[in-house]
Each structure stands twice: as structure tokens, then as C-alpha cells.
Amino acid sequence: MKLDRSNKTLIPQIDSIEKKWWLIDADNMVLGRLATKVAEILRGKNKPVYTPFFDNGDFIIVINAKKIKLSGSKEKQKIYHRHSGYMGGLKKISYEKMLTTHPERIIMHAVKGMLPKNKLNQKILKKLKVYPGSEHKHTAQKPETLKI
């Protein structure tokens, strides 16, 4: 990796960053522990050339999102909120219903909350691919399996 040595702080060059593809199986994993590890890899905090204002993280594929677990009694109590912006536009969806209809949104929501709230948020989140089953369409990228 080539580094720019003009300043005291070493800033990596955009074209010299190698982005890897990782495959994570979410079968029987706790949502919070999975989301923290995924957010760390997406931001690039596991690399020695981490820069907070720079996107140098890797791509992540999460499979088996249907089989994710929550700790404690959150499976019965957790509710996802969203608002349309109009009066009375609050929508509430329970965790159980979200798990049956859109299980990939559970992981996306958890990881999005752990990313910085700035312009890099959407750019970093696009590198996360979540699938409810065990099949994914990224075999051409040759992802390496990551054990958490």
C-alpha cells in the first residue's frame, strides 16, 4: 500500500486501498454482537491505515439473516418505528413481524445505527449485502468466510 508522506499524518491513497469481500453466516448469532463487528469492518477500523474521514473498509455479505437471535426477552418487546412525516404517520412494526417479512432489514437497521451520521454513512452502508437465506449472488467476488 502506498502512503502519502507529505504531511505528518499518513493518509492512504484512494487507488492503493485493497477492498476484500467477507462472508458472514448469521445463523444463531446475537444481533448486537454481529452488528458491531460488521460496522467495524465496513468502516475499516480493523486495518492499520484507518482514517475516520475516509472510506477504506471492506465489503461484507451476511447470509441466513432469518436465523438471527436477540438476547433476553427482546424478541417479544422490540419494536421498529418509522414516520412518514405527516400527522399520525407513525408506523410501528414488531421484531417478530419484521423477521417474517423482511429479515435483512433487521441487520441493516442495527448496522446503520452504529455508523457515523455524516456523508459517509450511505457510502459505507452500500458495501453491506444481507440475504435472508444461505444463497447469495456474489460468488464472482470470491468472498472469504469470517468467523465471529
- Mean pLDDT over 29-42 rounds to 97
Is 76 inside a domain boundary? no
Question: How long is the chain?
Answer: 148
Q: How does the average pLDDT of the chain come out, rounded?
A: 93
Cβ-count burial 68-97 (b if 16+ within 10 Å, e if not): bebeeeeeeebeeeeeeeeeeeeeeeebee
Is 77 inside a domain boundary? no
- Mean pLDDT over 23-43 rounds to 97
Asked if the model's pLDDT at residue 51 lies above 70, the reply is yes
Is 67 inside a domain boundary? yes
Position 12 scores a pLDDT of 80
Amino acid code (one letter) for 94? S
Position 16 scores a pLDDT of 81
What is the number of structural domains in the chain? 1
Is 25 inside a domain boundary? yes
- Tell me the three state secondary structure of residue 91: strand
- Tell me the three state secondary structure of residue 63: strand
Is 137 inside a domain boundary? yes
Q: What is the CATH number of the domain that holds 134?
A: 3.90.1180.10
Is 12 inside a domain boundary? no
**CA–CA separation, 24 vs 46, rounded Å?**
16
For the chain, percent of residues with pLDDT exceeding 90? 81
**CA–CA separation, 68 vs 37, rounded Å?**
14
Q: Which domain holds residue 66?
A: 20-71+102-145
Position 7 scores a pLDDT of 53
Position 45 scores a pLDDT of 95
